[in-house]
């Protein structure tokens, strides 16, 4: 771990491991060698990892992995890496990858910040996805929100020119906070201009969680920014 990672003490998540089902446990044990990627100090070789050259999409915090698998199925011309700290979600995603026979999706079970700092080369990612991160509702916890100036600067460095940083949240105060951070960020163009938020793009699947929220009258805010 580099010095910058070592000093980073405030996490944007709480590690709630939960109990692995037998299927999730078996998936991790049996499928990880084929679909898992270990955290390393060296830069990721995407061509070696996937056996081909293709645009790379990275999703931070894929939950149970359902929507990420749907995206990989819908966009076979892209390589996907999903990063998730919670092992039950990793196990479920591995099960889906295997059942769908996907060869363009790999998963990592670690802190996304470490992955980006240690393994992702500058100008190498075509799209970074951050869907429904923990909004940390209480004001005293806002410091834990992942969308901060330093994080956005890091994402900018990793994106290719015209690469996209796509965020989505169902918590309006967090959407407003994301917008404020991004308005201050240099080198990004809001793809919703002159509006602030985008309609949900076709490539982002709607989740069961999102559908439930819509039935309750909850809104969802998508923000998409292009690297200039």
CATH number at residue 140: 3.40.50.150
Half-sphere exposure at residue 111, Cβ-oriented, CA atoms within 13 angstroms: 17
**Per-residue model confidence (pLDDT) at position 1:** 36
How many distinct structural domains can be found in the chain? 1
Give 216's pLDDT tier (boundaries 50, 70, 90).
Answer: confident
**Quick one: pLDDT at residue 208?**
79
What average pLDDT score do residues 81-105 get?
97
Q: Are the C-beta atoms of 175 and 223 separated by less than 8 Å? A: yes
User: What pLDDT does 136 receive?
Assistant: 67
> 1-56, pLDDT tens digit by residue?
344 444 455 665 556 656 899 999 999 999 999 999 999 999 999 999 999 999 99
What pLDDT was estimated at residue 5?
41
133: containing domain: 3-227
For 91, phi then psi, to 5°, come to -60, -45
Residues 116-141: tens digit of each pLDDT: 999 999 999 999 999 999 986 778 75
Q: What is the pLDDT of residue 144?
A: 77
Q: Which residue has the higher pLDDT, 211 or 128?
A: 128
Element (H, E) at 134: none
The mean pLDDT value of the chain amounts to 92
Cα distances (angstroms) measured from residue 6 to each of 60, 75, 108, 124: 20, 36, 19, 24
pLDDT of 13 reads: 53
Examine residue 194 and say whether the peptide bond preceding it is cis (omega within 30 degrees of 0): yes
Q: Is 199 helix (H, G, I), strand (E, B) or coil?
A: coil
Calculate what percentage of the chain has a pLDDT beyond 90. Answer: 80
Q: What is the pLDDT of residue 98?
A: 98
Contact by Cβ (8 Å): 149, 220: no
pLDDT of residue 6: 41
pLDDT value at position 218? 85
**pLDDT band for position 197 (cuts 50, 70, 90):** very high
Residues serving a catalytic function are: 134
DSSP state of 131: E
**Long-range contacts from 31-34, C-beta under 8 angstroms, 24+ separation:** 31/94, 31/95, 31/97, 31/98, 32/94
DSSP string across 203-221: TSPPPHHHHHHHHTT---E
Question: What is the pLDDT, as a whole number, of residue 2?
Answer: 42
Asked whether 6 and 13 are in contact (CB, 8 A), the reply is: no
**pLDDT for residue 194:** 84
Question: Within 10 A of 173 (CB to CB), how many other CB atoms are there?
Answer: 12
> Beta strand 56-60 with 79-83: parallel, antiparallel or unpaired?
parallel
For residue 219, count other CB atoms closer than 10 A to its CB. 12
């Amino acid at each position: 771990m580099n010095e910058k990672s070592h000093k980073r003490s405030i996490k944007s998540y709480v590690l709630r491991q939960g109990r692995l089902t037998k299927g999730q446990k078996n998936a991790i044990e049996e499928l990880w060698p084929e679909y898992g990627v270990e955290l390393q100090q060296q830069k990721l070789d995407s061509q070696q990892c996937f056996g081909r050259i293709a645009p790379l999409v990275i999703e931070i915090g894929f939950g149970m992995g359902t929507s990420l698998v749907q995206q990989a199925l819908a966009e076979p011309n892209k390589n996907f890496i999903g990063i998730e700290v919670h092992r039950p979600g990793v196990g479920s995603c591995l099960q889906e990858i295997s059942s769908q026979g996907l060869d363009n999706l790999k998963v990592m079970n670690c802190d996304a910040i470490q992955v980006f700092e240690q393994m992702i080369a500058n100008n190498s990612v075509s799209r970074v996805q951050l869907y429904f991160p923990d909004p940390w509702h209480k004001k005293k916890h806002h410091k834990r929100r992942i969308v901060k100036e330093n994080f956005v600067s890091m994402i900018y460095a990793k994106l290719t020119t015209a690469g996209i940083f796509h965020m989505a949240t169902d918590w309006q105060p967090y959407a407003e906070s994301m917008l404020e951070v991004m308005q201050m960020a240099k080198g990004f163009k809001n793809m919703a201009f002159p509006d602030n938020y985008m309609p949900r793009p076709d490539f982002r699947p709607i989740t069961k969680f999102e559908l439930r929220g819509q039935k309750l009258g909850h809104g969802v805010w998508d923000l998409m920014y292009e690297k200039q």
